[in-house]
Amino acid sequence: MLLLPHFSTKPHLLFSSLSSSSSSLRPRLPKFPFYPAYFTKSPSCPSIACHVSTTGGGGAAQMESSASVDSVTHDLKNQRLDTETETDGGDESKMTKKLKALEDLNWDHSFVRELPGDPRTDSIPREVLHACYTKVSPSAEVENPQLVAWSESVADSLELDPKEFERPDFPLFFSGATPLAGAVPYAQCYGGHQFGMWAGQLGDGRAITLGEILNLKSERWELQLKGAGKTPYSRFADGLAVLRSSIREFLCSEAMHFLGIPTTRALCLVTTGKFVTRDMFYDGNPKEEPGAIVCRVAQSFLRFGSYQIHASRGQEDLDIVRTLADYAIRHHFRHIENMNKSESLSFSTGDEDHSVVDLTSNKYAAWAVEVAERTASLVAQWQGVGFTHGVLNTDNMSILGLTIDYGPFGFLDAFDPSFTPNTTDLPGRRYCFANQPDIGLWNIAQFSTTLAAAKLIDDKEANYVMERFV
C-alpha cells in the first residue's frame, strides 16, 4: 500500500466518484425543545459497550500471512505530503520564518497551566473528578519504530524544519518511546452522549497530548499522539491503534484540509514495530495487525463533551464549566473577549414577546452562537462532498467547528441519503448522511443545555443559539 505523495487542491481529483447531487437532501428539521433543568439531577448513564480487544501476549506475534511489521511498512517509508499546493504568504514570508529543530519548538502549556488537573498521574482506569486532564506519559510498547508518512504543510505551521523528519530519533519521539524536550503530556477528561444516550465519563482513552506550539503568527497548535498507550480514560481498552486506521486518519484529515473543510491535521505517522489484536468487523474473529501512532494537530481538541462532563456532576463542578469557557474564549475566540457595545450585536428571538438577545452583554452567549454557526458551516461542507462522519456523538464535536476523530467515516460513492459507514449504526442509522444536519442541531442543543446549567446563558439565549444553527 502506498500513501499519496501529495494532495491536490482540486476536489475532483481526490473524489471523482462523488456525485454532484450529493450536496443536499435534508429531511425536515424537527424541533429540539430546550430543557433548562436537564442537568439539575444526574442523568442516567447507560453502559456503552466499547468492543476493543486487548493486546496479545508478549513477544513477536505472527500474522496469518508470513508478513512482518517491517515488511508491511517497507513500501510506506519516506512518503510525505509536500506543500506545493499551499501559498502561505509567498517566498518572502518563507525566508523570514525561522524553521526550528524539535528541541527549539516554542512550547506553551496553557491547558495544564490554567485549568484544574488530576492530582494523580497514573494510568489506572478510574473516574477523574474535578479535573480537566490527567498528566500521563505515552506507554505504547515499541520495537524499532519507523516513520512512514509525514506532512510538510503541518510542519510549516509549527515552524518545524522538514529536515527533522530525517533524524534517526524522530520515530522514537513520535512513538512516545523517547520524551520530547519541552512536552508536558496529558490526557483530557470529557464525557458525552453516545447514540443519543448519556455515557458519562469518556476522555482520551488512547490519545495523549504533548502540549501546544506557538508560532510567529501567535497561532496555537496542539500536538497529540493517538495510539500512545493507556490513560485513566481507557476503560477496558488497550490505548493502542493499528496501521490500518491510522493511515485512514492521516490521509483523510489532510485530504479534508486541502478540500477546504475545517479539520484536525496530521503531522506524521509512525509504526510501533509491534502487533495489536483487533476485531475489525466485530464478528468474533480478531486478528493481529501492525501497530501505529499518528500525531494529530489542531488548535484545540476541546469538545462539547469537555463541558458536559462537569455540568453532569452537579453544582460542585459547575464552576469548571465557566473556567473552561473562559479558557476557550481567551485563547481561541479572542475577538469575543474584545467585543464591545458599539458592535450592536442584538437580535430578535422571534418569540411572541418580541424579546431581544444582546450578544455584546454576554460573551458566553456570543461564544455559543459562534460555536453553533461554525458547527452548521462544517456540517454543510460535509454534505457538499458526501462525507459521512459515522459517530457524531457529542464527545466527537469540536468547539472550533473542526472535523475531529476519524473513525468509521466514509464518502458517498453514489447518492444514498441512508448511507452510514458505521456498522454499529446500521440498525437505526442515526448518523447516516441525511441525518447529519439534524444530529448537529441535537448536539448543539446539548451544548446549550450545558452552558445554561452553569448559568452562562439563559433560556432565551440557549434557544437563540439553536436558531443560529438552522
Residue extents of the structural domains in the chain:
69-300, 306-469
Q: How many CB atoms are located within 10 Å of the residue 215 CB?
A: 17
Catalytic residue among 204, 395, 405, 425: 395
* pLDDT tens-digit profile, the chain (470 residues): 334 333 333 333 333 333 333 333 333 333 333 333 333 333 343 332 322 223 333 333 333 333 444 444 455 555 555 544 444 444 544 546 789 999 999 999 999 999 999 999 999 999 999 999 999 999 999 999 999 999 999 999 999 999 999 999 999 999 999 999 999 999 999 999 999 999 999 999 999 999 999 999 999 999 999 999 999 999 999 999 999 999 999 999 999 999 999 999 999 999 999 999 988 777 788 899 999 999 999 999 999 999 999 999 988 899 999 999 999 999 999 999 887 654 545 555 555 655 667 788 899 999 999 999 999 999 999 999 999 999 999 999 999 999 999 999 999 999 999 999 999 898 899 999 999 999 999 999 999 999 999 999 999 999 999 999 98
DSSP label at residue 146:
E
Start-to-end CA distance of the chain, whole Å, equals 42
> pTM score > 0.75 for this model?
yes
pLDDT at 71: 44
pLDDT at 220: 98
* 3 grid coordinates: 500513501
pLDDT at 279: 83
Amino acid identity for residue 343 in this structure:
E
Among 135, 118, 111, which residue's Cα sits nearest to residue 208?
Answer: 135
Amino acid identity for residue 205 in this structure:
G
Phi and psi dihedrals of 169, rounded to 5?
-90, 0
pLDDT at 208: 98
Is 413 a residue of the active site?
Answer: no
pLDDT at 46: 35
pLDDT at 337: 86
Reported as type and span, the H/E element at residue 265 is: strand 265-278
pLDDT at 345: 58
Is 359:372 a contact under the CB 8 Å cutoff?
no
* 333 grid coordinates: 475566540
Amino acid identity for residue 38 in this structure:
Y
Phi and psi dihedrals of 244, rounded to 5?
-55, -55
Judge residue 203's burial from the number of C-beta atoms within 10 Å of its C-beta, 0-12 exposed, 13-18 middle, 19 or more buried. Answer: buried
Phi and psi dihedrals of 225, rounded to 5?
-95, 120
pLDDT at 115: 99
